[in-house]
Amino acid sequence: IEDHPFLHFEVCYHQAIDFAIERKLKVVEAGAQGEHKLARGYRPVTMHSAHYIAHPGLRNAVADYLGRERQEVERMSEYLEEHTPFRKDLEE
């Protein structure tokens, strides 16, 4: 067993960026979650999913939580977009 600091980020993020640059790709999908992605060279993107929860009590509890979480995700997305280090003059 060896310790390799930041190996996860190298393999999961930095190699994908290098691959995209070499092939002149415009989009690299880094997966869902995380304000931490900004520090790794990715702009956070809001993801959507759809699920059916059969149990009414659990369905209501999840819906309540998601309603509150949606507001926080929107607030955080706006904040991160305002503070992104990426050039805005290149956006389409």
- Global pTM? 0.57
Which two structure tokens, joined as six digits, stand for 85? 């280090």
Question: Which pLDDT does position 47 carry in this prediction?
Answer: 79
For residues 60-65, average pLDDT: 96
Which two structure tokens, joined as six digits, stand for 50? 């759809």
For residues 28-35, average pLDDT: 74
pLDDT digits (tens, 9 = 90+) for 33-56: 667 777 777 777 787 889 999 999
Taking the C-alpha atoms of residue 42 and residue 39, their distance in angstroms, rounded to an integer, is: 7
Longest CA pairwise span in the chain (Å) = 50
